[in-house]
Chain A
Amino acid sequence: MKLAYWMYAGPAHIGTLRVASSFKNVHAIMHAPLGDDYFNVMRSMLERERDFTAATTSIVDRHVLARGSQERVVDNILRKDREERPDLIILTPTCTSSILQEDLQNFVYRASIISDSNVIFADVDHYQVNEIQAADRTLEQIVRYYLDRCYRQEKLDQFLTNVPSVNIIGIFTLGFHNQHDCRELRRLLRDLDIGINQIIPEGGSVEDLENLPKAWFNLIPYREVGLMTAMYLNKEYGMPYISTAPMGAVDMAEWVRQIQKKVNTLALISSIKRVDYEHYIDGQTRFVSQAAWFSRSIDCQNLTGKETVVFGDATHAASITKILAREMGIRVSCSGTYCKHDAEWFKEQIQGFSDEILITDDHAEVGDMIAHVEPSAIFGTQMERHIGKRLNIPCGVISAPVHIQNFPLGYRPFLGYEGTNQIADLVYNSFALGMEDHLLDIFGGHDTKEVITKSLSTDTGLIWNPESRLELSKIPRFVREKVKRNTEKLARQKGIETITVEVMYAAKEVFNS
């Protein structure tokens, strides 16, 4: 048992639901008590989704505790099958229902015999893995399910496409700027003359998964989700993959070179011309991405040696750390991640770029560390943003968990050459604000003149009795002045000298209508 106020990664079923609802025509059923379908609210709110989220609950209530689910889960699966005609139904337990130890696998088996849809049981342990790991596993499970089936039916077509092509694995719903990143990757690959075989899970169809092996290789932009799938495809079908995140100018170049290498290796066999992307990298880095120039400009000189703290998921925290340290010359005093399961990789990545490394999922520890370092800027999640607010340190949000502000409508990729521009803006704006704040502090604030004309209140004449004064203090601060003004206005109109609680609420009625 541990005391917790906040967590960086959600429970396992959220990961499963995120993968399931990213695919087209896949329905997820949670075996859960009433109220555990909060995922639907998040998707509808954060992603501003126009369609109903294809996730429902098979409710666990008192009766289920007493007698077991019996036919209920199977009935719910079959009902969804009838109503929505999905290609695939995924059944997942939640933390609570997994303790019941009902044989959900058996329900799935029974339902799959009758239903037209395929039915699978999400194979994740709710007490061992978190949201991110569960998403990774579920994606692999779905891919494996469809490829194995195809393989058994001996329908699997493993011939590579004529021109170089790739699968992009790991773009999905509620991911940090995933939609924008996906668009940027499409643009990059078009520039490189590489076709896109499939993008999964976002917008993908499970029926098309059997064509995954037709791509020349796989791209894993974020290592949190998709790496398991890539390793499976590598092992079973010999597909190479690139798991470098194309974030920041240096890694971007590295990513393009890796693609070049992969294409050229296979080009030998496919009798296709060898490619050379060096020219492209050079042009993009110098002219499309402003980041390289920006870090040499006089503005960026001011940032030299400034201290920062970076915290987030493994991919984003590592990439941002490297960008700050080697591309902008900013000192990263501490860099950390909450992806404890991937700690080794993370440490290796930021070796030499950060003074300290912090691997934890306890936000209090991160807060203490920030308070101790007192950096000029923080790059972290929403939690770090609030820590920054409390300590008066500016913060740029670079990683999930996030809220609605981090699902911008405008184009804001973190990956690719456009991504380098976005990141440069984010970094620079965080610091500039910090500087401005500091200067204002020294010179005594923006505007020291008090605004007095807005208030009608004067100390003459009106007396607030103790009850009404107490009542006034209970009113939320942002409307308190208004309430006070209105009350005094009414009191003056009516010639009342002592203001009581009655007068206050009489004023509310008069002035509200």
Chain B
Amino acid sequence: MSVKVSETLTVECETGNYHTFCPISCVSWLYQKIEDSFFLVVGTKTCGYFLQNALGVMIFAEPRYAMAELEEGDISAQLNDYEGLKRLCIRIKKDRDPSVIIWIGTCTTEIIKMDLEGMAPKLEWEIGIPILVARANGLDYAFTQGEDTVLAAMAHRCPEPEFSVSERKKTIQNVFTFHSIKKKELDEYANNPSLVLFGSLPSNVASQLNLELKRQSIKVSGWLPSQRYTDLPSLGDGVYVCGVNPFLSRTATTLIRRKKCELIGAPFPIGPDGTRAWIEKICPVFGVETQDLEEREERIWESLKDYLDLVRGKSVFFMGDNILEVSLARFLIRCGMIVHEIGIPYMDKRYQAAELLLLQDTCMKMCVPIPRIVEKPDNSNQIRRIRELQPDLAITGMAHANPLEARGISTKWSVEFTFAQIHGFANARDLLELVTRPLRRQKNLEDLDQTTLVIKKNKF
């Protein structure tokens, strides 16, 4: 291959005029994940309109979220914020009785400097429900970063690990358990310090990853977030943490600095290559040698063969809106695709260090140049570049998808990657299913074009 392989990785920065979802959209998946929560978005009609339309059908299913809609009196401080929020929260408590209320601060609460963090503890004490504050606003964050702000706030509420209690439990169990299997199981896990994974995943994807680590004799002691707020994992000195999604840099920082946890920097378990690299980073920390991992990855790749034939040699352009882009691009390069550009809203080089390294290695291995990474992209510039490059696939937001399709560029709606199950070995196929869908559709329609258009031409 005569392609010049660039060895260095550069991150460019553009104007930041790009389309993405507002970070308050995180309530749509978080309220489903955390079953006993209630999300209260403190904002204006604009926020409400966005949620109502973006969430579509979910809105009619009595969701556990609502808007605290600010009116003119709230903006001009004629009304008392504290009293207003108290009234709404008491009503929520009465109607839904959640275990936690999460206030989502928006652009408006930032601008009018509403002191949500100050009011929350007071109100929490007064009404007896924990109140968390997450500033998931469009002034500072993009789309998936909303989850990051919520999880960072939630990390503060995780209990300290009670070593003494668990030690005692263990000895008691040792005394009373004579059953050999149970003892063996205990021994298997006994020496490991605890490992907490962070990032919101559908519960069956979370248990798939748990199982994956269990195969390597590593026990996951908890997830942030857990299925219920009341089951938050213990965090503290000596607890190892590892992220499963690339947009959780604030959460990672909070866990390191405030909770004194040890962060395992690893690529993210997206695609079989990512999953293997993720496990390979975790295992040595616990002094475990990986077993059967390479073969397992091989088997997964083998099972993807039909899809790989479809994508090999095709080119992709990421416009960027959900920060999963680097991981997805790395996976697609490994699948044999050529990536023109990785647009990304925000690039935390430290948190994503291992992922970037794997991207570099993958490019070397596949003999392709390292794609340009464009932080805070400019959509109109990107569209110009797409026009020049004519990629086989553009991964982009819904605002541009139909217009690009109309111009003959196949597109995949990027938001689907946020909602689909893409983590771990078992979901690699689902991931490629998404990527290949426009390519397969195009293939089907090509045949259609030939037949129907020819007949039409003959007719007229």
Residues of A that sit less than 8 Å from B by CB: 1-7, 10-11, 13-14, 32-38, 40-42, 44-45, 48-53, 56-62, 65, 76, 83, 94-96, 99-100, 126-128, 130, 383, 386, 389, 403, 471, 474-475, 501-502, 505, 508-509, 512-513
B79-A33 in contact (CB<8A): no
SS of A interface (majority) = mixed
- State whether A7 and B400 are in contact (beta carbons under 8 Å apart), knowing that A34-B142, A65-B139, A403-B56 are contacts in the complex: no
Other A-B contacts than A7-B48, A34-B142, A37-B399, 9 sampled, CB-CB below 8 A, are A4-B67, A34-B22, A34-B141, A44-B402, A52-B383, A95-B44, A95-B108, A127-B72, A471-B207
Residues of B within 8 A of A501 (CB): 207, 211
Q: What A residues does B379 contact at CB under 8 A?
A: 56
Q: B226 → chain A, closest Cβ, in Å?
A: 13
- Say whether B406 contacts A50, CB under 8 Å: yes
Q: Among B45, B60, B304, which residue has its beta carbon within 8 angstroms of that of A10?
A: B45
In this complex, what residue of A is CB-closest to B41?
A4
Q: Which of A1, A50, A96, A513 contacts B111 (CB 8 A)?
A: A96
Across the interface, which residues of A come within 8 angstroms of B79, CB to CB? 1
Q: Are B45 and A95 in contact (CB under 8 A)?
A: yes
CB distance from A465 to the nearest CB of B (A): 14
Which chain A residues lie closer than 8 Å to B72 at the CB level?
Answer: 127-128
Check B399 against A56 for contact (C-beta < 8 Å): no
Whole-angstrom CA separation of A60 from B72 in the bound complex: 21
State whether A51 and B59 are in contact (beta carbons under 8 Å apart), knowing that A13-B46, A61-B139 are contacts in the complex.
Answer: no
Contacts of A383 in B (CB 8 A): 60
Q: List 9 interface pairs A-B (beta carbons < 8 Å), by A numbering.
A: A38-B50, A41-B397, A49-B402, A59-B17, A95-B44, A96-B44, A403-B56, A474-B203, A509-B303
Known A-B contacts A1-B68, A44-B399; A99 and B108 likewise in contact (beta carbons under 8 Å):
yes
CA distance A3 to B67 in the complex (A): 6
B252 → chain A closest CB, angstroms: 21
CA distance A229 to B204 in the complex (A): 57
Interface string of B41-83 (1 = CB under 8 A from A): 0001110111011101001100100111111101100010100
B21 at the interface (CB under 8 A from A): yes
Whole-angstrom CA separation of A83 from B50 in the bound complex: 28
Which B residue's beta carbon lies closest to that of A95? Answer: B44
B183 proximal to A (CB < 8 A): no
- Assess whether B23 is interfacial by the CB under 8 Å rule: yes
Contact yes or no, B402 A45, CB < 8 A: yes
Chain B contacts for A5, CB-based, 8 A: 59, 63, 66-67
The verdict on B450 contacting chain A, using a C-beta distance below 8 Å, is no
| Given A2-B69, A61-B16, A471-B207: A44 touches B403 (CB 8 Å cut-off) | yes
**Is B139's CB under 8 angstroms from A60's CB?**
yes
- One of B74, B87, B138 near A36 (C-beta < 8 A): B138
Q: Is the CB of B139 within 8 A of A33?
A: yes
Is B20 at the interface (CB under 8 A from chain A)?
Answer: yes
**Complex CA–CA separation, A126 to B111 (angstroms):** 16
Interface status of B364 (Cβ within 8 A of chain A): no
Q: How far is the CB of A152 from chain B (nearest CB, A)?
A: 34
Q: Please provide the chain B residues from 111 to 141 with a CB less than 8 Å away from any CB of chain A in the complex.
A: 111-112, 137-141
Q: Is B238 an interface residue (CB 8 A)?
A: no
Contact of A52 among B22, B107, B208, B400 (CB under 8 A): B400
Contact with A along B13-35 (1 / 0, CB 8 A): 00011011111110000000000
Q: How far is the CA of A48 from the CA of B300 in the complex (A)?
A: 38
A10–B49 touching, CB < 8 Å: yes
Contacts of A59 in B (CB 8 A): 16-17
- Cβ contacts under 8 Å, B397 to chain A: 41
A57 B17 Cβ-Cβ under 8 A? yes
Chain B residues with CB below 8 A from A471, complex form: 204, 207
Once the chains bind, are A509 and B398 in contact (CB under 8 Å)? no
Given contacts A34-B20, A56-B17, contact A475 B204 (CB under 8 A): yes
Q: Tell yes or no: B426 within 8 A of A by CB.
A: yes
Q: Which of B80-123 contact A (CB under 8 A)?
A: 81, 84-85, 87-88, 91-92, 106-108, 110-112
Contact indicator A99/B207 (Cβ below 8 Å): no
Q: Evaluate contact between B108 and A96: CB separation under 8 angstroms.
A: yes
User: Please, how many angstroms separate the alpha-carbon atoms of A62 and B376 in the complex?
Assistant: 14
Distance to closest chain B CB from A339 (angstroms):
16
Of chain A, the residue at the smallest CB distance from B383 is A52
Evaluate contact between A52 and B45: CB separation under 8 angstroms: no
Complex contact A127–B399 (CB within 8 A)? no
Given the complex of chains A and B, what is the CA–CA distance between A329 and B429 in angstroms?
Answer: 58
B380 within 8 A of A: yes
B211 x A44 contact (CB < 8 A) = no
Give the complex CA separation of A458 and B26 in angstroms: 41
Complex CA gap A71/B23 in Å reads 27
A331 shortest CB reach to chain B, Å: 27
Query: A48, B402: Cβ atoms under 8 Å?
Result: yes
Residues of chain B contacted by A51 (CB below 8 angstroms): 403, 406
A382 to chain B: closest residue by CB: B60
CA of A14 to CA of B44, assembled, Å: 13
| Cβ–Cβ contact A1 & B85, under 8 A | yes
Whether, in the assembled complex, B158 has its beta carbon less than 8 Å from a beta carbon of chain A, the answer is no
Cα–Cα, bound, A44→B402 (Å): 6
With A35-B21, A60-B107, A96-B107 as known contacts, state yes or no: A3 contacts B91, CB within 8 Å.
yes
**Cα separation A58 to B17 with both chains bound (whole Å):** 7
Whether A35 touches B69, Cβ cut-off 8 Å, given contacts A99-B108, A474-B204, is no
A53 near B425 (CB under 8 angstroms)?
Answer: no
**Once bound together, how far apart are the Cα atoms of A53 and B404, in whole Å?**
12
- In the complex the two chains form, is B111's CB within 8 Å of A65's CB? yes
Q: Do residues A509 and B68 form an inter-chain contact, with CB atoms below 8 A?
A: no
Complex Cα spacing A51 to B403, Å = 5
Closest chain B CB from A512 CB (angstroms): 5
Which 6 A-B pairs have CB atoms at the shortest separation, nearest pair first? A35-B22, A33-B138, A513-B303, A1-B84, A40-B399, A95-B44
Which residue, A96, A127, A383, has most C-beta atoms of chain B within 10 A?
A96
- CB of B426, distance to nearest CB on chain A (Å): 5
Q: Is the CB of B137 within 8 A of A1?
A: no
Contact between A65 and B110 (Cβ–Cβ < 8 Å)? yes
- Taking A37-B19, A60-B107 as contacts, is the C-beta distance between A505 and B403 under 8 angstroms? no
Contact check, B88 vs A3: say whether CB atoms are below 8 A apart.
yes
A6 to B65 alpha-carbon distance, docked (Å): 11
Of chain B, the residue at the smallest CB distance from A389 is: B60
Q: What separation, in Å, do the CA atoms of A130 and B85 have in the docked complex? A: 24
Contact B140 A62 (CB under 8 A): yes
Closest beta carbon of chain B to A390's beta carbon, Å = 8
CB-defined contacts of B91 to chain A, threshold 8 Å = 3
Q: Which of B22, B88, B91, B397 has the most CB of A within 10 A?
A: B22
Q: Is the CB of B399 within 8 A of A35?
A: no
Q: Let me know if A50 and B402 touch, CB within 8 A.
A: yes
Partner of A41, one of B141, B207, B303, B399: B399
Question: Would you give the shortest CB distance from A380 to chain B, in whole angstroms?
Answer: 13
